[in-house]
């Protein structure tokens, strides 16, 4: 478990799993770009042998006397075409409780988007049924994103790695009466606001935190690796609208520089986050300072 503080807000990570030693070549970044940025990429975002790691993790945020869960990972016991995610059995709930928060203590659950690794633990399997993991929470689903994945919706398009996710992780929440379908911009608490960040999926969103004159953005999959902020056209994995994704990254860079905000994407390993700054003519994603804790085995 790791912890980050922003103003009066406490942010803790809950790791589900990690994919380590992925070749940086997966980003299709030319060697010259890697070399030009090696000084700040290493050791957190560029590891031995020019590899990098992806964490699959949840954020547990406490602010304004509320507990907010951001992006509850993939979940146990679910079939998946990618072997690393197939029928996971991880101690996620035990790690979650190690934050000092129990599932029943959660006030809000927010999924930046509805890919399997960002909404799976919305539910868990009990007695053959998928039931809400956080029974007292309101689940905040951006309407545009919900409609993109609703099999009966006009915007639905099947994606093999997301097969069955709606039925297991979204529909049971709606049927339990715990879902709030919200607009692209939605105020959650005085310190928290959902904002549009389209591209990776049609309704992808991010969560903005402002506390005691400090800012942080939970950006989901706006980017998977910091080089995508330096070169926004770099793409990793699937994308609903690449042009929108590139524009969203450009807007995030401009805003991050202007506001000196902490940027917390979904998948970075410790210290999980960073701030954009200029070093002469060079754009740098500087690893967050002040994060505490470590990554479990």
> Which residues are CB-neighbours of 271 under 8 A, at least 6 positions away?
2, 4, 44, 287, 288, 289, 291
CA 15 to chain centre: 12
Cis peptide before 271 (omega within 30 of 0): yes
Kindly list the structural domains of the chain, giving each domain's residue range(s) and its CATH number in brackets, ordered by start: 2-293 (3.60.15.10)
How many other C-beta atoms are found inside a 10 Å radius of the C-beta of residue 240?
Answer: 18
Residues 74, 204, 54, 92: is their CA dihedral positive or negative? negative
CB 209 within 8 A of CB 194: no
Structure confidence at residue 103 (pLDDT): 98
Q: Over its length of 297 residues, how does the chain's per-residue pLDDT go in tens digits? A: 899 999 999 999 999 999 999 999 889 889 999 999 999 999 999 999 999 999 999 999 999 999 999 999 999 999 999 999 999 999 999 999 999 999 999 999 999 999 999 999 999 999 999 999 999 999 999 999 999 999 999 999 999 999 999 999 999 999 999 999 999 999 999 999 999 999 999 999 999 999 999 999 999 999 999 999 999 999 998 899 999 999 999 999 999 999 999 999 999 999 999 999 999 989 999 999 877 876 554
Structure confidence at residue 297 (pLDDT): 45
Nearest Cα to 268, choosing from 60, 11, 13? 13
CB 264 within 8 A of CB 277: no
CB 263 within 8 A of CB 219: yes
Nearest Cα to 283, choosing from 216, 226, 235? 226
> What is the spatial distance between Cα 52 and Cα 44, in angstroms, rounded to a whole number?
8
Structure confidence at residue 295 (pLDDT): 55
């Amino acid at each position: 478990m790791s912890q980050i503080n922003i103003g009066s807000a406490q942010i803790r990570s809950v790791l589900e799993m990690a994919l380590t030693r992925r070749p940086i070549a997966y980003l299709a970044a030319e060697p010259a770009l890697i070399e030009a940025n090696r000084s700040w990429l290493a050791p957190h975002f560029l590891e031995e042998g020019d590899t990098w790691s992806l964490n699959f993790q949840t954020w547990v945020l406490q602010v304004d006397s509320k507990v907010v869960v951001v992006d509850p990972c993939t979940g146990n016991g679910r079939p998946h075409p990618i072997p690393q995610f197939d029928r996971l059995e991880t101690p996620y709930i035990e790690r979650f409780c190690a934050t000092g928060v129990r599932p029943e203590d959660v006030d809000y659950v927010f999924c930046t988007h509805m890919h399997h690794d960002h909404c799976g633990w919305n539910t868990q399997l009990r007695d053959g049924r998928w039931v809400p993991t956080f029974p007292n929470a309101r689940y905040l689903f951006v309407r545009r994103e919900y409609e993109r994945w609703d099999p009966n919706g006009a915007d639905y398009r099947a994606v093999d790695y997301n097969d069955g996710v709606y039925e297991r992780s979204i529909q049971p929440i709606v049927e339990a009466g715990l879902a709030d379908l919200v607009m692209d911009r939605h105020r959650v608490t005085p310190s928290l606001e959902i904002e549009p960040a389209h591209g990776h999926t049609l309704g992808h969103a991010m969560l903005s935190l402002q506390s005691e004159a400090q800012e942080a953005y939970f950006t989901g999959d706006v980017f998977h690796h910091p080089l995508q902020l330096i070169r926004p056209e770099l793409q990793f994995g699937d994308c609903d609208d690449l042009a929108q994704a590139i524009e969203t990254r450009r807007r995030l860079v401009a805003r991050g520089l202007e506001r000196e905000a902490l940027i917390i994407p979904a998948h970075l390993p410790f210290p999980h986050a960073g701030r954009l700054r200029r070093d002469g003519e060079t754009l740098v994603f500087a690893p967050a300072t002040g994060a505490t804790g470590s990554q479990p085995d």
